[in-house]
Amino acid sequence: MIAFILSSKQIADELTIDFGDISPSYLPLANDYLLNFQIKELKRLCTDIYISKRKIDKPFINEPDVKDFIIKDNLSLIDLIFNILNTFKGDDIIFLYGDTLIKYPAFIPTNKSILFSTDEVKIPYPNWHVLPDDSIMCGSFFIKKELSPIILEKKIKNVNSLIEILVKNSEILKLGKGKWFDFGNFHTYYNSGSSFIAYYSCIFR
């Protein structure tokens, strides 16, 4: 099983004022970078970890545990996911959004694809994916290699359509309170950062 951190887009406009033109995984968190906490979680589950990057991105931290996957600067998220599925057809893949940190369960079943979600959030942001059971997709999913060709042949145009396929062909694994941190916009970045520092920084180290 391999992992892909999807971090090739610029952070939200309101965050560039504080942090400049960087990718989400390079956001600062608890005197470190979000990327390093993402890597620590994924290393428990995966043999190899990749991070998608724009050609213009230059590494400014030491990244010995992650491999670069360079893409075109204007590639959409769904096209990026299709690119990865085409390139790594023989692998089971965990996808993690670059602006997301998850404390994954100690055991994750690998006999089926998985959508990670939570029902701890009562009021979702407009860009969050609400699943049919009213839980919130947590910016991470696991795609078995057997499901990849089914997804690829659909020629879908957006991530919403991908989520619909995953809902029909995957298990929804719900995360408990404090297991999902979203850093995708101004409010969630500072709210999640405060919660993380207050309660969980020692767990992720």
With cut-offs at 50, 70 and 90, classify the pLDDT of residue 59.
Answer: low
N- to C-terminal Cα separation, the chain: 23
pLDDT > 90 fraction of the chain, expressed in percent and rounded: 47
With cut-offs at 50, 70 and 90, classify the pLDDT of residue 88.
Answer: very high
Residue 121: CB partners within 8 Å, gap ≥ 6?
128, 136
Lowest-pLDDT choice from 51-55, 56-60, 89-93, 133-137: 56-60
Give the mean pLDDT of 114-127: 83
Residue 79 Cα distances to 84, 86, 167, 204, angstroms = 9, 10, 19, 31
Asked if 12 contacts 98 with a C-beta cutoff of 8 angstroms, the reply is no
Q: What is the pLDDT of residue 194?
A: 76
Q: What is the pLDDT of residue 201?
A: 55
With cut-offs at 50, 70 and 90, classify the pLDDT of residue 127.
Answer: confident
Q: What is the pLDDT of residue 191?
A: 76
Say if pTM beats, i.e. exceeds, 0.85: yes
3-class secondary structure, 63: coil
* Separation of alpha carbons 184 and 187, rounded Å: 8
| Structure-model confidence comparison of residues 59 and 162, the more confident one | 162
Q: What is the pLDDT of residue 71?
A: 84
Give the mean pLDDT of 149-165: 92
Give the mean pLDDT of 88-92: 93
Helix (H) or strand (E) holding 152: helix 148-154
